[in-house]
Chain A
Amino acid sequence: MHEMSIALAVVDQVEEAARSHGATGVRTVRLRIGELAGVVPDALAFSFGLACTGTVVEGAELVTETVPGRARCASCDDEWAVGMPPRLICPVCDRATAELVSGRELLIAAVEWHDDPADPRVREPISQEG
């Protein structure tokens, strides 16, 4: 089960980001997982709970958004939902000229955290702040 490896990579990156922003706790981690990423969200959620133990990420809620697989045909410009199992041959012209538009994402989209008001870094403006 490689979801544990994926979870560790997520925790690692969130920890790094949290540290560089002077955060003292993480409330939510938002992931975007494509249908074709080869990752099972439930297994990942389970592993995530274990992976964040003892880190600044401990106790954070994991929110995953599934990104549907979509493809576009370079010949006829048709765009379709590939489904599962995916159909990557164009349903209109039956040609093998597809490009994948989405579905392979495995991204940490956003992180929500608590700041330590005593940390001077917190007062610096953060450009990506949402």
Chain B
Amino acid sequence: MCRVVDLQQAVLAKNDATAEVLRKELAARGTAVVNVLSSPGSGKTALLEGELLLARERGVTAAALTADLATENDAVRLARSGLPVKQVLTDGLCHLEADMLAGHLHGWLAEDTRLVFVENVGNLVCPASYDLGEALRVVLASVTEGEDKPLKYPTAFGLAHLVIVTKTDIAEAVGFDEAAFRANVEQVNPGVDVVLTSARTGAGTGVLLDRALAAAEGTAVHMPVMAQARA
């Protein structure tokens, strides 16, 4: 005997449910997770170094968790801020999942922490599909990567609450076309803010910190078109 059963189950239902629980739990105590996504080498760690230093200066209780396939280099760099930092080695996995993050935060995160910056694995494909329970999802692109990055990785850019351009100190040298980049972002994620930064010059440092604090206080973030329908 053979039969067909109509399931209609979301494949990522478990991850999404775990993420939602984590988001609610953290929101209840005024904590926001910031999920930072980009290609390898776009400047995630460099950006976060600046934001963490500033957080420390301003007395904001922040922490950071950085995920890599190998090496503890990024954690060492971020820990120079003096804030709590944890390195997660993903054991070959190309992205973080909600239960992994929840497990790492449990018992480690101080109760009064306002912000948790999560540097996801450098990869614009896989991490885009996994909600980590973040209050703010940020996608980075450096000026060296080409203006069409948002069109090549529409799911990543299309689900961002904020887009950050990095390494603008070398924009001129590489001929970065800001208007073209902005138009491409707008095509896949109408209305999302695009912020220009440079870890070298310090331009734009603090924008992410301010947005993250606003999110922790419950201020509504940009709602991407792509995030509206999720079957």
Question: Which residues of chain A (16-31) have a CB below 8 Å from chain B?
Answer: 17, 21, 27, 31
Contact assessment for A86 and B4 in the assembled complex, using a CB-CB cutoff below 8 Å: no
The residues of B that contact A84 with a CB separation of less than 8 Å are 154
Residue B3 interfacial (CB < 8 Å): yes
Number of residue pairs spanning A and B whose beta carbons lie under 8 angstroms apart: 143
Interface of B is mostly: mixed
A21–B225 alpha-carbon span in the complex (Å): 38
Q: Is the CB of B7 within 8 A of A111?
A: yes
Query: Can you list 14 A-B contacts (CB < 8 A)?
Result: A9-B12, A13-B11, A21-B5, A88-B225, A99-B228, A100-B226, A105-B231, A106-B10, A109-B6, A110-B5, A110-B7, A117-B1, A126-B5, A129-B5
B179 at the interface (CB under 8 A from A): no
Complex Cα–Cα for A5 and B230 (A) = 19
B43 lies within 8 A of chain A by Cβ: no
Q: Indicate whether A80 reaches chain B with its CB closer than 8 angstroms.
A: no
Nearest chain B CB to A104 CB, angstrom units: 5
- Residue among B10, B11, B93 with max Cβ neighbours from chain A (10 Å): B11
Q: How many residues of B contact A (CB 8 A)?
A: 43
B6, B15, B158: the one within 8 Å of A110 (CB): B6
Interface residue tally on A, bucketed by range? 35 or more
Q: A88-B187, A122-B1 in contact; A34/B6 too (CB < 8 A)?
A: no
Within 8 A of B (CB), among A39-94: 39, 71, 84-89
- Chain B residues engaging chain A, CB cutoff 8 angstroms: 1-15, 93-95, 97, 125-126, 128-130, 150-152, 154-156, 158, 186-191, 225-226, 228-231
Q: A5-B93, A110-B4 are in contact. Are A100 and B14 (CB under 8 A)?
A: no
A129 B4 Cβ-Cβ under 8 A: yes
- A93-128 with Cβ < 8 A to chain B: 96, 98-115, 117, 122, 126, 128
